[in-house]
Structure 1
Amino acid sequence: MQLTFLGTSAGKPTKERNISALALEFEQDNKWYLFDCGEATQHQILKSRLSIGKLDTIFITHMHGDHYYGLPGLLSSKKLDTAFRPLTIYGPTGIKKFLECVIDVSFENLGYTLEIIEFKAEETFTFEKFSLKILALEHSIESFAFYIKENDITNKLNEEKLRSIGLEPSPLYGELQRGNCITFQGKKIEPKEYMLPPVRGRTLIIAGDNSRPEILGRYLEEIDLLIHECTYTQKDYDHLQVKVLHTTAKDLGKAVQERHVKNVIATHINPRYSNHGADGVDSIYGEIKQYYKGRVFIANDLDVYRLSKDGMVEKL
């Protein structure tokens, strides 16, 4: 499972960071998924190894512009690229009205099928390789997280055991994987006797803007990866004259430690934190680590991370 951060800034772009967008890919798949689509996301895609032609589905966390203003340009460029693969957009109430207002979403105009689905909290959607549940967050408007559960692998054959009885790889393997009995050398072979134990699918949460990471509750419990905003350090947040509903590094660290989250990638970094300035992202990383003993990464634009089958995250 691979994640490409296309935008990691909070609210507005900086010289170092564009605004929110994240791509998700699964192994041995010919498509990818986009989570949020801030302004200029299509420019970021051009700088990556991703192709608009293989984009299958877009998920929007909430209706703040830095998370969806990039949609009209991307949808139009998809047509200009003659990338006519059907596309589905999942978003909160209002996403359909927005798109119908700014572009003609008909097939006649776009040249491809565009389906727009408005979701509500607690809904679950099923895809080829995973299921996705909508979780409500706490923000100044409705905001949501996506709990993603990869399908378990339940049809992996014990090839070593099959070879031990003389059955080499052949179409008979496929029959066993489909749950069918076969006959080999005059003996009936039951598929369950030659199956390996199920391999648990990976779990992750991709969250929108949220002031209380602990609101995710039991869904955080020992998940493989949480991707969550971390807009301020606690000190900087405390000194804001006008408080905003965003997460601090302290609150994020405490929440993920309590629920034993295995890996955390922080994003949605306030523009005041520069990779080269006096207020650096190291302050965010350091504050999270004061409270959390697991693996932490601070995402930068165009960073690529891999979540392995054993639940380990590495930056590529």
Structure 2
Amino acid sequence: MKLTFLGTSAGKPTKERNVSALGLEVDQDNKWYLFDCGEATQHQLLYSHLSIAKLNTIFITHLHGDHYYGLPGLISSKKLDTCFKPLCIYGPVGIRAFLEAAVKISEESLGYKLDIVEFKSGDEFKFDKFSLKVLPLVHSIESFAFSIKEDDITNKIDEEKLRALGVKPSKLYGELKRGNSAQFEGKTLKPKEFMLGATLGRKIIIAGDNSEPDILGDYLQGIDLLVHECTYTQEVFDNLAIKILHTTAKDLGLVAQKRDVKHLIANHINPRFNKSANQDIDLIYDEIKQNYKGKLFIANDFDVYILNRDGLEKS
């Protein structure tokens, strides 16, 4: 799995960070998926390896502008780039009215099929290489996380064992993978004797804005990767005149440690944390690490991460 961060700022863009957007590519898939689409996401794509032509599906976590105001521009540019493959957008109730109004008022003729699916908490969806479940979060409006389970690989054949019998790669391999017995030099080869055990699919959660990470409960337990907002340090949050429903670095670290999260990527960083300010991004990293012993990254725009079977690495 490959994750490309296109926007990592909270609320508004800065000179260093654009607003929320994240691209996900899944192994052995020729398309990619976008999670949130803040203003100017299409501009960010121009500086990444991702292309609108291969974008298949967009998921919106919630209807705050920094997470979906980029949609009208992106769906219009798709047509201008002569990308006429269908596009599906999943979002909370209200996303349909927003998009239909934008298309109608601008008298836009997209030229391709645009499917809009409004989901609710608990809904489950199946895609080519993974399944996805919508989970509720705690925010000032309805906000959601996406729990993603990669499909198990169950058709891996023991080529070494077959070669030892003199069976070279051929149509016979395909028959065994499909669960059919095959004949070789007068012997019956049964599929169960030559199939390797299942490779379990990885589990990740991509969360929208949320003030209580532990609301994800058992879905967090031992997962391979959590992508979660981290808008404030605890000190900054405690000194806010008006409390905003976002996660602090301390709370995120505590919950990730409690739930044995294997890898953690924090994003949605408040603009006050920047290179030219006294409050550097290291403050967030250090506060999380005080409470979380797993592998941690603070995402920057255009960071690319690879989730392999043996761990998470920055590309």
Q: TM-score range by the shorter chain?
A: over 0.9
Which residue does the alignment assign to 2:186? Answer: 186
1:11-41 residue CA offsets vs partner (Å, 9 max, x unmatched):
0000000000000001232110000000000
Which residue does the alignment assign to 1:8? Answer: 8
CA distance 1:295–1:276, change in 2 (3 Å): farther
Aligned partners of 2:162 and 2:168 also within 8 Å: yes
SS of the aligned residue for 1:101 comes to helix
| Cα distance in 2 between the residues matched to 1:152 and 1:290 | 35
What pairs with 1:145-224 in structure 2 (closer than 5 Å)? 145-224=145-224
Give the CA deviation at 1:277: 2.4
Q: Name the Cα RMSD after superposition.
A: 1.4
Aligned length: 315
Aligned partners of 1:90 and 1:119 also within 8 Å: yes
Aligned partners of 1:33 and 1:58 also within 8 Å: yes
Which residue does the alignment assign to 2:39? Answer: 39
Aligned amino acid, residue 206 of structure 1: I
| Cα distance in 2 between the residues matched to 1:241 and 1:267 | 23
| Cα distance in 2 between the residues matched to 1:190 and 1:74 | 51
| Cα distance in 2 between the residues matched to 1:272 and 1:299 | 16
Which residue does the alignment assign to 1:143? Answer: 143
Which sections of structure 1, spanning at least 5 residues, go unmatched? none
Which residue does the alignment assign to 1:315? Answer: 314
Which residue does the alignment assign to 2:59? Answer: 59
Q: TM-score, normalised by structure 2?
A: 0.98
Which residue does the alignment assign to 1:114? Answer: 114
Which residue does the alignment assign to 2:301? Answer: 301
Aligned partners of 1:227 and 1:266 also within 8 Å: yes
Which residue does the alignment assign to 1:277? Answer: 277
Q: After the TM superposition, list the runs of 4 or more consecutive aligned residues in structure 1 that deviate by more than 4 angstroms.
A: none
Percent identity of equivalent pairs: 67
Aligned amino acid, residue 125 of structure 2: F
Which residue does the alignment assign to 1:72? Answer: 72
Aligned partners of 2:210 and 2:246 also within 8 Å: yes
| Cα distance in 1 between the residues matched to 2:115 and 2:178 | 32
Aligned partners of 2:29 and 2:129 also within 8 Å: no
Which sections of structure 2, spanning at least 5 residues, go unmatched? none
| Cα distance in 1 between the residues matched to 2:281 and 2:302 | 16
Which residue does the alignment assign to 2:103? Answer: 103
Give the CA deviation at 1:275: 2.9
Aligned amino acid, residue 155 of structure 2: N
1:263-293 residue CA offsets vs partner (Å, 9 max, x unmatched):
0000000000003421100000000000000
Q: TM-score, normalised by structure 1?
A: 0.98
